[in-house]
């Protein structure tokens, strides 16, 4: 009981003094012996070493003692215990006599930090840990844009790849978004960039409508409503038109006859891609925009055409690139006149016309005229026109291909004149056509009006036949009777035509 009271006294003294007992407590069976801390009348006191009692050093104090700051703040540590050294931490760890940073002056903070400190002094226990929280607030400076970069080769009128990027910092703030205005190069007005750390970028396609130097503005926003702008320039080059070389048109073509033509060329584009090459074959009786196919290193097409006329014919080539530009070139090909061995094709020569007016008593007066004449036969041996002579050196060409092909066909043609206007009506009574001969018979009615009113009626016979040496013989007769006057007019013509 005596020993228990003494130990209770020692405990109460420790609690009252706020000190710590440094000693050794031994438990021997049921007895407890404390080294130090017993009253002087304790029989065991002479057996124990003296009690060593240490007081803790005073806790450090912060100046300022926490709070908010912008930019940076300097914190001074104060200590009431003389000779004490200070250690502190800013990373959340607990400083001790062996850890933490020795404090040798004011501490500068630039970010939100919980500052912890401890005082260490000889003859004292380490102080309690002191701490204070310093919170950084907005500086009000907003974001900053730097290191703008662009990439890509932009070509006017052509979809071109473009990359844009920049570094954006906002000090103590957080960057919310970065946009770029791409309208000058055919893009959107506010294209959003993607952020990776402090770097923001975008990649895609744009189509600039014009060439030259173009400005691209950047705008960055932070979460506090601050913003910053910067810009850079890019160059849009002019879209060069494609070029065509080695254009050619080859084949053995004959007027009025189907034949195979081959057209080809080489097309190049220095800043784009050739999308389409066409050839205008209308001069050869083909398409006016015949697409060519690409083969290895050139563009080509082969097919059948039927030229309507002979001579040198031009084939026009056009190449279009992916930027909407076109280039052109041409080639020529010769079309042989006619279709050897047949009527088809063109014929030309002089025709001699004779006329005899049957009036009064014989001999009747006669006259003759020479007229240069050109005739063209289609592939089915139908003449395009009929050359009809009915006196007074008048040679009339009547369109025959579209209306005088079968028995019963009729064509009315009006020939204005002064003083008389002639209205001629042709009606087919017989017709024959083959590869080597053509003939036609028609009833003819010629009515005059104007200065002299009257009419001529009669028959018309015209025939041609292919002769050796690619010669075409021509014969024509037109006996006409002047209505009501008993006057007749006999007209005839002969001649030989050849290929032009």
DSSP codes of every residue in 138-172: --S---EEEEEEEE--EETTSEEEEEEEEEEE-TT
What is the distance between the alpha carbons of residues 495 and 493, in angstroms, rounded to a whole number?
A: 7
Same-domain status, 186 and 249: no
Total structural domains in the chain?
Answer: 5
Distance of alpha carbon 126 from the chain centroid: 76
Between 188 and 257, the higher pLDDT residue: 188
Whether the per-residue pLDDT at 245 is higher than 90: the answer is: yes
Report whether pLDDT(226) > 60. Answer: yes
For the cut 70, the answer to whether the pLDDT of residue 446 exceeds it is: yes
Query: Residue 452's domain spans which residues?
Result: 345-498
- pTM, two decimals, is 0.39
Least confident of 87-101, 151-165, 293-307, 438-452: 438-452
pLDDT band at residue 384, thresholds of 50, 70 and 90? confident
* 181 & 273 share domain: no
pLDDT digits (tens, 9 = 90+) for 280-294: 999 999 999 999 999
Higher pLDDT, 420 or 259: 259
Q: Which residue in 375, 499, 347 sits closest to 440, CA to CA?
A: 375
Average pLDDT estimate for 152-161: 90
Q: How far apart are the first and last CA of the chain?
A: 154
Same domain? For 388 and 488 the reply is: yes
pLDDT digits (tens, 9 = 90+) for 24-44: 333 333 333 334 444 445 554
Write down the pLDDT at residue 165. 96
The CATH number of residue 322's host domain is: 2.60.40.10
Kindly tell me if the per-residue pLDDT of 264 is higher than 90.
yes
Per DSSP, the three-state class of 10 is helix
Q: DSSP for 97-118?
A: SSSSEEP-SPEEE-S-EEEEEE
- 141, pLDDT greater than 70: no
> 368 and 257 in one domain?
no
Mean pLDDT over each residue of the chain, to the nearest integer: 82
From 287, 312, 336, the end of a domain falls on 336
pLDDT of 487 reads 66
Note the pLDDT of residue 436: 92
> What does the alpha-carbon distance between residue 444 and residue 460 come to, in Å, rounded to a whole number?
7
Identify whether residues 65 and 52 lie together within a single domain. Answer: no
- Give the C-alpha separation, 211 to 325, whole Å: 14
pLDDT at residue number 34:
39
Over the stretch 110-127, which tens digit does the pLDDT of each residue have?
888 999 999 999 889 999
SS3 (DSSP) at 181: coil
- Among the residue ranges 73-82, 135-144, 299-308, the one predicted with the least confidence is 135-144
Percent of the chain surpassing pLDDT 70: 82
Name the domain boundary from 116, 136, 156. Answer: 136
Whether residue 242 has pLDDT greater than 80: yes
More confident residue, 181 or 82: 181
Same domain? For 370 and 482 the reply is yes
């Amino acid at each position: 009981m005596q020993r228990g009271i003494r130990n209770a006294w020692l405990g109460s003294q420790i609690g009252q003094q706020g000190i710590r007992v440094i000693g050794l407590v031994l438990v021997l069976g049921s007895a407890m012996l404390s080294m130090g801390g017993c009253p002087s009348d304790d029989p065991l006191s002479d057996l124990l070493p003296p009690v060593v009692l240490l007081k803790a050093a005073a806790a450090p104090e912060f100046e300022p003692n926490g709070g908010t700051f912008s930019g940076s703040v300097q914190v001074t540590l104060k200590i009431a215990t003389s000779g004490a050294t200070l250690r502190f931490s800013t990373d959340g760890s607990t400083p001790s006599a062996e850890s933490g940073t020795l404090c040798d002056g004011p501490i500068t903070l630039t970010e939100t930090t919980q500052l912890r400190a401890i005082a260490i002094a000889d003859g004292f226990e380490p102080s309690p840990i002191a701490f204070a929280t310093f919170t950084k607030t907005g500086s009000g400076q907003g974001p900053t844009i730097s290191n703008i970069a662009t990439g890509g080769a932009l070509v006017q009128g052509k979809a071109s790849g473009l990359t844009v990027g920049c570094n954006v910092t906002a000090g103590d703030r957080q960057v919310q978004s970065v946009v770029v205005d791409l309208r000058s190069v055919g893009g959107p007005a506010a294209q959003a960039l993607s952020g990776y750390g402090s770097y923001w970028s975008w990649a895609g396609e744009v189509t600039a409508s014009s060439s030259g130097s173009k400005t691209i503005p950047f705008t960055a926003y932070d979460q506090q409503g601050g913003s910053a702008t910067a810009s850079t320039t890019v160059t849009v080059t002019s879209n060069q038109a494609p070029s065509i070389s080695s254009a050619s048109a080859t084949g053995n073509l004959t007027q009025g006859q189907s034949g195979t033509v081959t057209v080809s060329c080489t097309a190049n584009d220095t800043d784009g891609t050739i999308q389409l090459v066409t050839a205008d074959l209308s001069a050869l009786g083909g398409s006016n925009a015949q697409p060519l196919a690409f083969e290895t290193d050139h563009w080509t097409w082969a097919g059948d055409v039927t030229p309507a006329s002979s001579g040198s014919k031009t084939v026009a080539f056009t190449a279009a690139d992916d930027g909407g530009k076109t280039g052109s070139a041409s080639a020529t090909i010769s079309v042989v006149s006619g279709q050897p061995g047949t009527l088809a094709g063109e014929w030309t020569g002089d025709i001699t016309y004779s006329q005899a007016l049957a009036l009064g008593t014989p001999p009747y007066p006669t006259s003759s005229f020479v007229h240069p004449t050109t005739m063209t036969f289609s592939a089915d041996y139908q003449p395009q026109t009929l050359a009809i002579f009915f006196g007074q050196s008048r040679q009339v060409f009547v369109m025959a291909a579209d209306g005088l092909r079968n028995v019963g066909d009729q064509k009315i043609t009006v020939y204005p004149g002064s003083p008389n206007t002639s209205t001629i009506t042709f009606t087919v009574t017989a017709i024959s056509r083959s590869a080597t001969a053509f003939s036609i018979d028609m009833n003819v009615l010629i009515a005059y009006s104007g200065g002299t009113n009257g009419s001529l009626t009669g028959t018309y016979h015209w025939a041609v036949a292919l002769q050796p040496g690619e010669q075409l013989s021509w014969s024509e007769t037109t006996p006409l009777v002047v209505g009501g006057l008993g006057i007749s007019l006999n007209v005839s013509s002969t001649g030989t035509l050849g290929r032009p």
